[in-house]
């Protein structure tokens, strides 16, 4: 399927990094995409609650360094760093676990590159789902941001609905995103068969074909 959404996905880079957190093995998934806007506008889009609700999810809390935030029906955490128009970092607390997210903005040609790095201690489910477990969710968020920047005053797009990945358009998007993360795992050293099997498990999870741990 060739569509603006797929084109945006193909313009997004996907990377997996090995690291340590507190002396324990960890992984980071990194997504990066250039948006056709300046840093001030993109910063406003990722930090103002009214705009986050249209591109991602409603958010509440004290949105400043040291403050707590909560995305509706998703993760919450503490904002640990904030450099306007350049960088924001926070803990990402969900399902009893804590991981870490850093978003950076940088000029890139006539636009602004948004890079998001999500780091977590290595979890047993990584072997089953690979980087796609987290990465596909961030691909969907990057897609939502692209749609929002194209129509800033529009309401939250239909593609942001929980059931969208089960539609033909959503399934095509998730399939391509899963394959991208499978290749990112391979580039990070995971054997091809293992990486692509994990990518397929992530695809099935996001499209509702299987449940976590199935």
Give the mean pLDDT of the chain: 94
Task: Please give the residue range of the domain that contains residue 49.
Answer: 4-206
Work out how many domains the chain is built from and give that number. Answer: 1
Comparing 143 with 161, the larger pLDDT belongs to: 143
Q: What's the CATH number where 32 sits?
A: 3.30.530.20
Q: pTM of this prediction?
A: 0.94
Q: Is the pLDDT of residue 189 over 70?
A: yes
Measured CA to CA, the distance from residue 77 to residue 89 in angstroms comes to 10
Q: Is residue 214 part of a domain?
A: no
Percentage of residues in the chain with pLDDT exceeding 70?
A: 97
Q: Which of the four pLDDT bands, split at 50, 70 and 90, describes residue 214?
A: very low
In a domain, 48, yes or no: yes
Per DSSP, which regions of the chain are E strands?
13-21, 24-35, 59-61, 68-71, 76-83, 87-94, 97-108, 111-121
As a whole number, mean pLDDT of residues 17-39 equals 96
pLDDT in tens, 89-112: 999 999 899 999 999 999 999 999
Q: What is the mean pLDDT of residues 201-206?
A: 96
Q: Residue 137: what pLDDT?
A: 96
User: Phi/psi at 152 (nearest 5 deg)?
Assistant: -60, -25
């Amino acid at each position: 399927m060739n569509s603006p959404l797929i084109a945006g996905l193909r313009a997004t880079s996907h990377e997996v990094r090995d690291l340590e957190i507190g002396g324990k093995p960890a992984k980071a998934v990194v997504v990066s995409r250039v948006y056709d806007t300046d840093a001030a506008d993109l910063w406003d889009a990722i930090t103002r609650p009214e705009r986050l609700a249209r591109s991602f999810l409603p958010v509440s809390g004290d949105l400043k360094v040291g403050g707590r935030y909560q995305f509706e029906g998703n993760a919450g955490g503490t904002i640990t760093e904030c450099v306007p128009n350049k960088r924001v970092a926070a803990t990402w607390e969900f399902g009893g676990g804590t991981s870490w997210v850093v978003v950076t903005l940088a000029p890139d040609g006539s636009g602004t590159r948004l890079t998001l790095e999500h780091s977590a201690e290595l979890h047993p489910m990584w072997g089953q789902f690979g980087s796609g477990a987290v990465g596909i969710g961030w691909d969907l968020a990057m897609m939502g941001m692209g749609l929002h920047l194209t129509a800033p005053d529009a309401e939250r797009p239909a593609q942001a609905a929980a059931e969208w990945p089960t539609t033909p358009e959503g399934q095509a998007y998730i399939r391509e995103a899963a394959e991208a993360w499978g290749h990112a795992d391979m580039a990070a050293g995971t054997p091809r068969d293992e990486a692509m099997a994990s990518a397929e498990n992530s695809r099935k999870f996001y499209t509702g074909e299987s449940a976590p741990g199935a």
